[in-house]
A and B are shown apart, each in its own frame.
Chain A
Amino acid sequence: MRMPAPDETVIARREAIAADLSRIVAADAVILPEDERRAYESDGLTAYRQLPLLVVLPSTTAEVAAVLRYCQKEGVKVVPRGAGTSLSGGALPLADGIILGLGKFNRVLEVDYDNRCAVVQPGVTNLGITTAVQGRGFYYAPDPSSQIACTIGGNVAENSGGVHCLKYGLTTNNVLGIEMVLINGEVLRLGGKHMDAEGYDLLGVMIGSEGLLGVVTEVTVRILPKPTTARAVLMGFPSNGSAGDCVAAIIGAGIIPGGMEMMDKPAIHAAEAFVHAGYPLDVEALLIVELDGPPAEVDHLIERVEAIGRANSAVSCRVSNSEAERMVFWAGRKAAFPAVGRISPDYYCVDPTIPRKRLADVLERMTQIATKHGLRVANVFHAGDGNLHPLILYDANKPGELDAAEQVGSEIMSYCVEVGGVLTGEHGVGVEKRDLMSTMFTEDDLNQQLRVKCAFDPDGLLNPGKQFPQLHRCAELGRLHIHHGQVPHPGIERL
Chain B
Amino acid sequence: MTHFRPKDEVELVGIVQQALATEEPMELVAGGSKRSLGRPMQLPHVLDLSGFCGVQVYEPEELILTVGAATPMAEIERTLAGAHQMLAFEPGDWRALLGTADKTQTLGGVLSCNIAGPRRIRQGAARDHLLGFHGVSGRGESFKAGGKVVKNVTGYDLCKLMAGSYGTLAALTEVTVKVLPYPEATRTVALKGLAVDAAVKAMIQAVGSSHELGGAAHLPAVLSPTGAAMTVVRVEGPVPSVEARAVALRDELSGFGAAEIIDNDASLPLWQTFRDIMPLASPADAAIWRVSIAPTDAPALVDTLSRALDLRYFLDWGGGLLWLAVTGASDGGATAIRSAIKSGHATLIRGGDGLRAAVPVFQPQNPTVAALARRVKDSFDPERIFNRGRMYGDV
Contacts and interface: CB of A to CB of B under 8 A. Distances in A.
Given A194-B292, A251-B63, A297-B238, A386 B14 contact: no
A492 B376 contact: no
A35 interface: no
Contact of B151 (A255, A294, A387): A387
Given A197-B164, A200-B165, A488-B14, A252 B154 contact: no
Contacts of B11: 489, 492-493
B149 A421 contact: yes
A356 interface: yes
A485 B204 CA distance: 60
Contacts of A448: 137, 141, 143, 145, 158, 379-380
A492 B5 CA distance: 8
A165 B151 CA distance: 9
B17 A483 contact: yes
A488 B18 contact: yes
Contact of A353 (B143, B147, B208, B366): B147
Q: Which of B120, B165, B295 has the most CB of A within 10 A?
A: B295
Interface string B315-355: 00100110000000000000000000001110100000000
Contacts of B382: 478, 480
Interface stretch (B69-77, B122-130, B250-258, B304-312): B122-130
Given A199-B373, A451-B380, A293 B241 contact: yes
Contacts of A208: 153, 156-157
Contacts of A487: 18, 21
B237 A297 contact: yes
Given A194-B293, A422-B149, A492-B14, A201 B127 contact: yes
A492 B11 CA distance: 7
What is the interface of chain A mostly: helix, strand, loop, or mixed?
A: loop
A300 B61 contact: no
Interface stretch (A307-315, A335-343, A438-446): A438-446
Nearest to B130: A204
A251 B159 CA distance: 25
A422 B152 contact: yes
B103 interface: no
Contacts of A251: 60-61, 63, 181
Interface string B68-91: 000000000000000111000000
A115 B318 CA distance: 9
A226 interface: yes
A452 B170 CA distance: 13
B362 A207 contact: no
Contact of B369 (A202, A422, A480): A202
B160 interface: yes
A445 B143 contact: yes
Contact of A173 (B124, B164, B180): B124
A97 B373 CA distance: 28
B383 interface: yes
A153 interface: no
A414 interface: no
B226 interface: no
A449 B244 contact: no
Interface in A222-257: 225-228, 248-249, 251-252, 254-256
A61 B372 CA distance: 19
A456 B293 CA distance: 27
Q: Which of B60, B147, B152, B295 has the most CB of A within 10 A?
A: B152
B345 A198 contact: yes
A397 interface: no
A318 interface: no
Contact of A445 (B84, B144, B151, B368): B144
Contact of A456 (B152, B237, B372): B372
A232 B295 CA distance: 35
B3 A480 contact: no
A495 B60 contact: no
A208 B157 CA distance: 7
Contacts of B145: 445, 448-449
A300 B140 CA distance: 53
Contacts of B35: none
A166 interface: yes
B6 interface: yes
Contacts of B121: 195
A58 to B, nearest CB: 20
Contacts of A138: 208
Contact of B181 (A256, A446, A452): A256
Contact of A482 (B83, B140, B153): B140
Contacts of B60: 251-252
B56 interface: no
A421 B181 CA distance: 22
Contacts of A189: 366, 369
Given A115-B296, A173-B124, A480-B20, A357 B210 contact: no
Q: Which of B143, B181, B317, B395 has the most CB of A within 10 A?
A: B143
Contacts of A137: 210
Interface string B38-77: 0000000000100000000001111110000000000000
B21 A423 contact: no
Interface stretch (A11-19, A399-407, A424-432): A424-432
A350 B311 CA distance: 56
A158 B153 CA distance: 8
Contacts of A193: 294, 343-344
A452 B376 contact: yes
Given A201-B164, A248-B61, A448-B145, A296 B240 contact: yes
Contacts of B369: 188-190, 199, 202
Contacts of B61: 248-249, 251-252, 356-357
A467 interface: yes
Interface in A178-196: 182, 186-190, 192-196
A467 B321 contact: no
B209 interface: yes
Given A199-B365, A482-B140, A425 B151 contact: yes
Contacts of A227: 210, 212
A155 B341 CA distance: 30
A475 B210 CA distance: 53
B151 A385 contact: yes
B154 A423 contact: yes
Interface in A456-486: 456, 467, 478, 480, 482-486
A333 interface: no
B142 interface: yes
Contacts of A281: none
A493 to B, nearest CB: 6
Interface string A412-425: 00000000111111
Given A201-B160, A478-B382, 6 more contacts: A173-B128, A189-B369, A203-B160, A444-B143, A447-B143, A494-B3
Give me the 8 closest cross-chain CB pairs, A-B, nearest first: A204-B160, A489-B14, A297-B241, A254-B181, A296-B244, A198-B345, A451-B379, A455-B375
25 contacts: A159-B153, A193-B294, A194-B343, A195-B320, A195-B321, A200-B165, A200-B377, A209-B157, A225-B209, A256-B181, A296-B241, A300-B238, A353-B151, A421-B147, A426-B153, A440-B154, A445-B145, A448-B143, A448-B379, A449-B158, A480-B139, A482-B17, A489-B11, A492-B6, A493-B11
